[in-house]
């Protein structure tokens, strides 16, 4: 059977947008449950400014409290060297830098334009490589931006290439506000595939408009085999108005299986984790 990987985003993308403080112990319990589900990679938290994303202020405590399962990669977001050094001290197995294909969102999310944000991330990628820590790159707003409108595929390809050039082993393509359509996702992928092979790309689709699974099908047809998702479909980005959750892990897992792609996940544990995640956000 062919394989596709789901990269679990729940503890990070799923929880970062929650206004109520979530106890650190609850976050740790969620990660520990997810560690038993069969994921190869879990995005645990973000080492970002607590002034910008208060919910992730306990990143170091969460990393210190989780029980690491053998073979599971515990990844975190690192927007700058300050975040990277804290992530390394916390023993992150992998880090991720994140940029935007649109200027408007870059300024809203990172307080810097695209070029300046890339300049800030390059030392992070260099340091991670020197330390033997894999670094992933995100491109946000790959089709539509709430500030700038439709995003040209060439802009996405440019930022993806810049992240590749700074040493990111994989580029995750974010439909941050879930407005992509199979046609726009396909056009975007065609441009990005001129720069990177499908094996180095991941689809990161929010499900605001209910099209994430269609966009995954389009991506599968283009050869992508890694998809980001969050248990319970939780999430959203605090600096992207209108962003709803990541597509739900349990739905992606069933969808991939129906299309003949094994993903190695335990559906019973995923269901428990989805319930736990929803309860943490008070949306059960």
Binding site residues, ligand HMG, CB under 6 A: 13, 16, 46-53, 77, 79-80, 82-83, 98, 109-111, 138, 140, 174, 176, 204, 206, 237, 239
CA distances 70 to 36, 37, 277, Å, are 10, 12, 23
Q: Choose between 28 and 145: whose C-beta lies nearer to ligand HMG.
A: 145
User: For residues 240 and 177, is the Cβ–Cβ distance under 8 A?
Assistant: yes
CA distances 194 to 127, 216, 223, Å, are 27, 19, 13
Instruction: Tell me which of Mg ion, ligand HMG, none is bound by residue 46, counting a contact when its beta carbon lies within the kind-specific cut-off of 5 to 8 angstroms.
Output: ligand HMG
The active-site residue out of 73, 145, 168, 237 is 237
Instruction: Tell me which of ligand HMG, Mg ion, none is bound by residue 16, counting a contact when its beta carbon lies within the kind-specific cut-off of 5 to 8 angstroms.
Output: ligand HMG
Contacts of 248 (CB under 8 A, 6+ apart): 207, 229, 230, 231, 232, 233, 274
Q: Closest approach of Cβ 16 to ligand HMG, in Å?
A: 6
Instruction: Tell me which of Mg ion, ligand HMG, none is bound by residue 82, counting a contact when its beta carbon lies within the kind-specific cut-off of 5 to 8 angstroms.
Output: ligand HMG
Instruction: Tell me which of Mg ion, ligand HMG, none is bound by residue 239, counting a contact when its beta carbon lies within the kind-specific cut-off of 5 to 8 angstroms.
Output: ligand HMG
Bridge partners (DSSP) listed for residue 7 = 228
User: For residues 245 and 236, is the Cβ–Cβ distance under 8 A?
Assistant: yes
Q: Closest approach of Cβ 268 to ligand HMG, in Å?
A: 27
Q: Closest approach of Cβ 106 to Mg ion, in Å?
A: 15
State yes or no: is 73 an active-site residue.
no
Query: DSSP labels for 187-227?
Result: HHHHHHHTTS-GGGEEEEEB-TTS-HHHHHHHHHHTT--EE
Helix (H, G, I), strand (E, B) or coil at 97: strand
Alpha helices in the chain (DSSP H): 24-34, 59-65, 81-89, 103-110, 114-130, 153-165, 182-193, 212-221, 249-258, 267-280
Binding site for Mg ion (CB under 5 A): 13
Q: Choose between 13 and 144: whose C-beta lies nearer to Mg ion.
A: 13
Q: Closest approach of Cβ 70 to ligand HMG, in Å?
A: 27
Q: Closest approach of Cβ 77 to ligand HMG, in Å?
A: 6
User: Which residues have a catalytic role annotated?
Assistant: 237
């Amino acid at each position: 059977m062919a394989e596709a990987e789901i990269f679990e985003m729940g503890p990070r993308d799923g929880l970062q947008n929650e206004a109520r403080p979530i106890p650190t112990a609850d976050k740790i319990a969620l990660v520990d449950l997810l560690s038993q589900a069969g994921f190869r990679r879990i995005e645990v938290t973000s080492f970002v400014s607590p002034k910008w994303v208060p919910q992730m202020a306990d990143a170091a405590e969460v990393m210190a409290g989780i029980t690491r399962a053998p073979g599971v990669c515990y990844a975190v977001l690192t927007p700058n060297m300050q975040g990277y050094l804290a992530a390394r001290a916390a023993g992150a197995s992998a880090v991720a830098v994140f940029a935007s294909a649109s200027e408007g969102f870059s300024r809203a999310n990172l307080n810097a334009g695209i070029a300046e944000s890339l300049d800030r991330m390059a030392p992070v990628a260099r340091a991670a490589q020197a330390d033997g820590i894999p670094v992933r790159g995100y491109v946000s707003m790959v089709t539509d931006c709430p500030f700038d409108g439709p995003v040209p595929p060439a802009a996405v390809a440019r930022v993806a290439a810049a992240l590749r050039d700074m040493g990111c082993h994989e580029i995750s393509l974010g439909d941050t506000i879930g407005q992509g359509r199979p046609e726009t996702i396909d056009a975007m992928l065609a441009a990005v595939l001129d720069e990177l092979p499908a094996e180095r790309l991941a689809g990161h689709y929010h499900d605001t408009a209910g099209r994430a699974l269609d966009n995954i099908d389009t991506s599968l047809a283009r050869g992508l085999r890694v998809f980001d998702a969050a248990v319970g479909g939780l999430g959203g980005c605090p600096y992207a108005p209108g962003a709803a959750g990541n597509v739900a892990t349990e739905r992606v897992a069933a969808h991939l299986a129906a299309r003949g792609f094994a993903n190695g996940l335990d559906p019973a544990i995923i269901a428990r984790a989805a319930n736990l995640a929803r309860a943490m956000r008070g949306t059960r």
